[in-house]
Structure 1
Amino acid sequence: MEHHLTVARTARYQQLGELSARTRRVWFVCHGYGQLAAYFVRHFAFLVENRDDTVIIAPEGLSRFYLQGNGGRVGASWMTRDDRLAEIDDHVCFLNQLAAVVLGQCPADIETTVLGFSQGTATVSRWLTRAHFRPAHLILWAGGFPEDIAAETAQKLLQGLPLSVVVGNNDEYISLAQAKQQHQQLQQLGAEAQLRTFVGKHELNRAMLEKLTQ
């Protein structure tokens, strides 16, 4: 018979910029399957160059593994289909604790952006349905909003929420047609959703990131 035991463990995250009374913008950015936060966060370094009002927080999935065989490069995952609900609870708890620590050091009028890439889109979506803050902007990049979130719960989160669905025109995992369908569904759930595309594959794109900051 299977049982579960809640235990304390150490979670890891990366930070660019210093939190202070001057902080006006915080980005929480969640990586995709098989990535590590230390490398993923580098894509956002230009957002904090020569400015002290922006901080980037990149949490890392709680499960790490060798990408090939028994050694070499390591990646992280937010969840798999095995013991899925427990893994979701664990990362939501982690992200809520992290947000409390980060936002507790910021002015009350802080503007938050939450970005999920690939597998991270499901992670941030599920998190925000149970988060203790509401972001100013949600970005779902190369991934989708989970279909298993109840419509009532989704509407409570998405109603009037500025949201960007971003996809490359040559993405290997999500087609433009799928992104358009996702965009329409999110609009129907009440989000102020925009579909944004760029020339590229299943990847982040600096020019698009710059547009999203404007």
Structure 2
Amino acid sequence: MPSNATRQVWFVCHGYGQLAAYFIRHFAALAAADPALVVVAPEGLSRFYLQGNGGRVGASWMTREDRLHEINDQISFLNQLAGNILSQCPAGVRVTVLGFSQGTATAGRWLAQAAFRPTHLVLWAGEFPPDLAPEAAARLLRSLPLTLVVGDHDQYLSADAVAQQRAALRRLGATPVLRTFAGRHELNQEILACLHRPGAEPPAPGP
């Protein structure tokens, strides 16, 4: 739980078909090793059966149906959640926002309308939302430490797609740092540990 002893807060947004209760387990080792770290895993507002009419359940941040209203709902939910968490933390707490897969677009749309500015944005195995207004995207990304993470055998993101995204982010004024690992469309504990270390975020660009 957040408290006056909290020095870092991570908001981690899961991917398509995942549940927050399971997704947050990937960050358990970080939280156990650092009592001053609080990890918060919000969940997409839509749940569904992953196969047929029963069995495992997953969550999604949005679909194409009533898309704009779903985006507004998720941003409102995330802003309320962040406001509650950060109000319990000391001033100057370092905030990392990590989006995985579908959660990367969610993180980008949210932060463009958030009441706080993160210390570090991590886009893991997904893309920054291409539908975000260029002015809003540039305002968010300018001077914001940004890390892209992708497995070298990610079955959904090719090397060309990653290169195109880096170029698009640069055009918006970002200076993304790319980290890769041996793996597929998944999280990686070694990379997570590196991102958690003090000063792990890339340096913000100069004026």
Answer yes or no: same fold by TM over 0.5: yes
Which 10-residue stretch deviates more, 98-107 or 167-176? 167-176
Gaps of 5+ in 1: 1-17
- Is the CA contact (8 Å cut-off) linking 1:180 and 1:195 kept in structure 2? no
* Partner in structure 1 of residue 117 of structure 2: 134
* Partner in structure 2 of residue 26 of structure 1: 9
- Is the CA contact (8 Å cut-off) linking 1:31 and 1:60 kept in structure 2? yes
Structure number with the bigger relative contact order (C-alpha 8 A, sep ≥ 6) is 2
* Partner in structure 2 of residue 156 of structure 1: 139
Asked if residue 84 in structure 1 is aligned to residue 35 in structure 2, the reply is no
Which amino acid counterpart does residue 98 of structure 2 have in structure 1?
A: L
Counterpart of 1:71 (choices 12, 30, 54) is 54
Counterpart of 2:181 (choices 189, 193, 198) is 198
Which amino acid counterpart does residue 152 of structure 1 have in structure 2?
A: E
d(CA) in 2 for partners of 1:51 and 1:151? Answer: 37
Counterpart of 1:165 (choices 142, 148, 153) is 148
Which amino acid counterpart does residue 162 of structure 2 have in structure 1?
A: A
Which amino acid counterpart does residue 133 of structure 2 have in structure 1?
A: A
Could you tell me how far 1:188 is from its partner in structure 2?
2.2
Listed one character per residue, the Cα deviations across residues 166-214 of structure 1 (whole Å, up to 9, x for unaligned) are 1111111111221121112212212231011111000001111112123
Could you tell me how far 1:129 is from its partner in structure 2?
0.4
d(CA) in 1 for partners of 2:149 and 2:34? Answer: 26
Which amino acid counterpart does residue 96 of structure 1 have in structure 2?
A: N
d(CA) in 1 for partners of 2:33 and 2:153? Answer: 33
Give TM-score scaled by structure 1 length: 0.90
% identity of equivalent residues: 62
Give TM-score scaled by structure 2 length: 0.93
d(CA) in 1 for partners of 2:79 and 2:151? Answer: 30
* Partner in structure 1 of residue 200 of structure 2: none
d(CA) in 2 for partners of 1:160 and 1:191? Answer: 7
